[in-house]
Structure 1
Amino acid sequence: MKISDFQTKEVINIVDGKRLGQISDLELDLRQGRIDAIVVPTNSRFMGIFGGGSDLIIPWHNIVKIGSDVVLVKMEEVKALQEEKEHDRIDRGR
């Protein structure tokens, strides 16, 4: 499978059914010749307007299934991470 094949797939979290986005990059372990993680850019609506945002690094062991159109992942901590970012954004606005 090519990296470009991964970049066309939507990433879905099976914990809450939310779309996390599309894969933008892969983290590789060149010494062992394996993929360590997939990288999905995250943008909130507010930050997305101004080009901000960050990347969600999803370890390879969190991937449940790779389908023809989607990559299913199990990420319990995504919700907590998103809530933390929202609190930080609100705190900066004060």
Structure 2
Amino acid sequence: MIKASELTEKEIINVVDGTKLGMISDIEINLEKAKIKAIIMPRTGGIMSIFTKSNNIAIDWNDIVRIGNEVILVNLDSTKYKDENFYD
């Protein structure tokens, strides 16, 4: 069992190309099914991007490959997060 607060201490890494994507800032929960829907990470672009919900990136729970002690491995199409709009 892992606590939501423990998730925010882990770095997100894409297994497709080994890119460090960032840290989790929040989680999205489906209350009807009592399941985590996505992990949320802020887009890069300054400290204010943390406080703006529209500047967050949701990574679907199904894209998570493994949750380790220090990192979360995700399987994302590298063209998606390298797109200029992914971090803007």
**Structure 2 stretches of 5 or more lacking a match?**
none
Higher helix share: 1
Task: Pick the structure with greater CA Rg.
Answer: 1
**Structure with larger RCO (C-alpha < 8 A, sep 6+):** 2
TM-score (norm 2): 0.80
Identity within the alignment, %: 38
Distance across 1 between alignment mates of 2:28 and 2:82: 22
TM-score, structure 1 as length reference = 0.76
The total of aligned residue pairs comes to: 82
Find out whether 1:84 has 2:81 as its counterpart.
no
Runs of 4+ in 1 over 4 A off after TM superposition: none
- Taking only aligned residues, the RMSD between alpha carbons, in angstroms, comes to 2.1
User: How far apart, in 1, do the equivalents of 2:43 and 2:82 lie?
Assistant: 9
| Contact in 2 for aligned 1:20/1:42 (Cα 8 Å) | no
TM superposition shift of 1:84: 3.4
